[in-house]
Amino acid sequence: MPSLETDIIGRVRRMGLKPSSGTALLPMFEAVSNGLHAIDDRHGQNSKVSGKVTVEVLRSDPSKINSPVTGFIVTDNGVGLNEENYKSFLKPDSQHKLSRGGKGIGRLGWLRIFSDIRVDSTYLDETNVISGRSFDFVLSDKDQVIPRSKVVPSTILGTRVSLKNFDGAYGSKCPVEAATIKQRLIGHFITILAANAAPSIEIVDGSEQIDLRDVFNEMIRDTKEEEVKIIFDGGEEINLTIRHIRASKAIRSDVNRKAWNWLYLTAHERTVDAQPIDDAIGLKALDDGEVYVGCVRGPHLDDHVNQERTQFIFDGDENREIRRALLGSISSYLGSYVSRIKEKKRQTVKSIISQYPQFHYINSDMEGFVENLAAGSVAREQIYAAMCINRFRKTNDSSKIKDKIEKSPKITQEVQSLTETYRKFVQDQQRGLLAEYVLQRKSVLDILDKYIGFRDGTETSYLEEAVHNLVVPMRSSSSEMEITDHNLWLIDDRLSFYSHFASDLKFRSYTDNPSLDRPDVAFFYDNCFAWQERDAGNTVVLVEFKRPGRPNYNGDDNPLSQVIEYIERFKLSNLRDVKGRIVSARLRDAAFHCYIVADLTPKLLATFRGHAFHPTPDGDGLIGFIRNPDAFVEVVSYQKMLRDAQMRNSVFFQKLGITDVDPSQSVKESPTLITEEEETF
C-alpha cells in the first residue's frame, strides 16, 4: 500500500525559526533537553545525583573570551541512543516521547540552524552489551543520517551531539558573552532548576567550567510555590502552578536589560515565553537590587505550546485571563512592595491635587482611585493623565445624570438619589475650580514678589517690561484675550470688568489720533457696573509702569507729565474698533482714573510737588486729583501692589491651607520714602 513520504528539506525550511538570539540557541537547548530525558531513563530517581549534562561552547578563537560562537557540543551520561531511541530519531514527528511533551521535530531544528552536525552515542544493546553508533546528520532529500565506520564505543554510556557552523544569519545573532549564554540556559530550564530537581548541567567555555545549579542557587533569595485557579468565560476551569522567586538581578533576562521582573511560562519543563512585568506590577528593582521571577507550569500550558516551542496557542481572551490571574498571585506574593508603591501613588495623587485643585473630588474616593490606577502608572505624568481621564469620565457621567433627572416626569427615590449624586459632584467640581483659580493667583503673586526685587545674584532690578507682561501682555488688546489671559486684578479687581483695553499699543491703532506714542495700558468702560464713579458709564483708566527701584526721573519720563499728555490726546480723539470704525466719540467728556505703578523714590516724589497729592494710610502710595485736565491719580508702589493683592486674596489662601503668604511680611527694604514734610505736594 502507498504511504506518505516526508519532504525533509521542505519541512525544515518551513519551520518558524526566524534568526534571532533566541532561535540561535534552540538546537543547543533541544540537545540538553534530550540529554535530561536520557538521564531520567537511565538513572531514574538518582538522576539529580548521578546525571550530568555538559555544554561546551565553541568559539572562532578559543583564546578570546568573547570571540564569535561557532557551535556547541552537548554531552550527557544518559541511556544513549539505543535501538528504540534510534528508531525514533529516524522518524520525524515521532510519538516516542509524547508523554514528556516531545514534539518529534527538535532535531529538525538542528538542520535549520547548523550545517555540521555529528552524533556519537554509547548504549546497552538488547543483550546488555555496550555498543556504539556515530553518524553525521545532514539536510538532504534522502540519506540524512550518514553512519560513520569503525565506531569504537566508549566505556561510558551517553550521547555527544556536536552542533557546528551556523547556517545563514543565525551565527551573527547568537549571543557572544558567556554570562548571556549562561543566563539563557538558566532561563530555559528554570522550572527544574527552581524545583531543585535538575542533574548537573555544566557549561564549559574556554577555561571556565561552571555548574548551573550552583549559579542558580547563589542567586536565589526566596522561593514559594502556589496553585492558581483560572476560570474562563465559558466556565472552563484550569489550574496552574507558579513558583515565586526573589533573586539577585543577575537572573533577569538579557533580552531587555531595562526590565527587572520577569514571568516565565513553561511547557514540559522548558521555558516558552519570557515576559517582562515591571509595568504590570508597578515595580522595578526590589530591595538591595533584587528582582522577581515567576515560573509557571501546568497541563494547560503543556497542551497549548506550538511545535517549535516558541509560543503558546491561546486566543486573546484566554491569554488575558491567565495573565490577570498570575499577576494577582504575584502582587499578593510581593504584597509589602506593592503596598509601598501604592502609598507612593497616593502621595503623588495628593500632590497633584494640591497643585491642580480641579481634581479635589478624588479625595472622597482616594483609595478607589489609587486601586484602579494601572500598576505601571507610577510616574507623576502617568498619574496626572489617569486623573484627567477620570475627570473627563466623571463629567460625562454627570451630564448623563443631569439629562436623566431633567427627563424624569416624577421625583422618584431614584431621581432623588441621582440628584444628590449630581449635586455632590458639581459642588466638588466648583470647589476644585475655585481652588485652582486661587492657586493661579498665588503663583502670580510669587512671580511679582520676585520681579520687584533684584535679579538673582545681582543688584540690578528687573525691567518694567517684566512686570508689565505679568500684569497684562504687551502689544495686545482685549479683542485678543480672555479674562484668564491677564492679571489686571494685581492693580485693582475692578479692572477685569472692561469693555475694551489696549496694552502698549500706539494711539493710532485704536483711536483716530495719528500719534505713535504708546500708553502702557488704557481701559475704556461703557456702563461698567463695577466702576462706581459719577461718570462710570464713560470712564477711561490709564496705567503707567516704571521700572522697580528706578532712582532717577527727568522731564521726558516724568510719569505725571506722561499721564497728563495721554489724557489730553484722548480728549481730542475718538475710539475706533479693529475695523477702523468709530465706536465712541465721547472721550472728550470721559472721566479719567490713572494709576502710576512705581517705587516711591525721592526723585519720583519730587515730580509731584505742587500738586494736591497725599500719602495713603499705609505710606506706600499717593492719591490726588489734578486739574486741567481733570483726573484722579493713584501712585502705587510695587510693595503696595503686592501686599494689597495678597490681602484681597488672603481669605481664599487661608481656606485652601496656603500658609506661606503673609501680607504683613511682604514689605522688603525699598526706596519708599514719605516724610511728614512731604505729605502734601
Q: Which of 394, 414, 435 is the last residue of a domain?
A: 435
Instruction: Check residue 535 and give its pLDDT.
Output: 40
Q: What share of the chain has pLDDT > 70, as a percent?
A: 83
Instruction: Supply 99's cell numbers.
Output: 508523554
Q: What is the DSSP letter of 305?
A: B
Q: Which of 387, 419, 435 is the last residue of a domain?
A: 435
In terms of Cα–Cα distance, which of 594, 638, 595 is closest to 445?
A: 638
Average pLDDT over residues 70-80: 96
481 lies in the same domain as 422: no
Contacts of 215 (CB under 8 A, 6+ apart): 182, 186
| CA–CA gap between residue 619 and residue 610 (Å, rounded) | 19
In terms of Cα–Cα distance, which of 653, 246, 643, 173 is closest to 438?
A: 653
372 lies in the same domain as 240: no
Instruction: Check residue 539 and give its pLDDT.
Output: 83
Q: What is the DSSP letter of 16?
A: -
> Does some domain include residue 518?
yes
396 lies in the same domain as 373: yes
Phi, psi (rounded to 5 degrees) for 267:
-140, 130
266 near 325, Cβ under 8 Å? no
164 lies in the same domain as 271: no
> Does some domain include residue 445?
no
Around 64, how many Cα atoms within 13 Å sit in the side-chain half-sphere?
A: 8
> Does some domain include residue 349?
yes
Instruction: Check residue 667 and give its pLDDT.
Output: 42
In terms of Cα–Cα distance, which of 216, 274, 222, 228 is closest to 244?
A: 222
665 has which bridge partners? none
> Does some domain include residue 515?
yes
Q: Which domain range does residue 243 map to?
A: 217-333
Q: Which of 308, 333, 358 is the last residue of a domain?
A: 333
| CA–CA gap between residue 603 and residue 560 (Å, rounded) | 13
Instruction: Inform me whether the pLDDT recorded for 281 exceeds 60.
Output: yes
Average pLDDT over residues 247-264: 84
599 lies in the same domain as 532: yes
263 lies in the same domain as 154: no
533 lies in the same domain as 651: yes
pTM above 0.85, yes or no: no
Instruction: Inform me whether the pLDDT recorded for 534 exceeds 50.
Output: no
Tens of pLDDT, residue by residue over 424-464, are 766 677 677 777 777 778 888 888 888 887 665 565 666 77
> Does some domain include residue 209?
no
Instruction: Inform me whether the pLDDT recorded for 547 exceeds 90.
Output: no
Instruction: Check residue 676 and give its pLDDT.
Output: 34
Tens of pLDDT, residue by residue over 92-104, are 766 555 455 455 5
- The burial of 259, by beta-carbon neighbours within 10 Å (0-12 exposed, 13-18 middle, 19 or more buried), is given as middle
302 lies in the same domain as 350: no
- The burial of 393, by beta-carbon neighbours within 10 Å (0-12 exposed, 13-18 middle, 19 or more buried), is given as exposed
Instruction: Inform me whether the pLDDT recorded for 293 exceeds 90.
Output: yes
Cell 545549579, residue located: 213
Phi, psi (rounded to 5 degrees) for 415:
-65, -40
Tens of pLDDT, residue by residue over 86-142, are 988 887 766 555 455 455 567 888 999 999 999 999 999 989 999 999 999 999 888
> Does some domain include residue 457?
no
10 lies in the same domain as 73: yes
292 lies in the same domain as 391: no
> Does some domain include residue 190?
no
Give the amino acid at 626: I
Q: What is the DSSP letter of 375?
A: T
> Does some domain include residue 442?
no
Q: How many domains does the chain have?
A: 4
617 lies in the same domain as 577: yes
| CA–CA gap between residue 224 and residue 333 (Å, rounded) | 9
7 lies in the same domain as 104: yes
Instruction: Supply 210's cell numbers.
Output: 561552571
Containing 467, the helix (H) or strand (E) segment is helix 464-471
Instruction: Check residue 674 and give its pLDDT.
Output: 35
In terms of Cα–Cα distance, which of 565, 586, 564, 558 is closest to 574?
A: 586
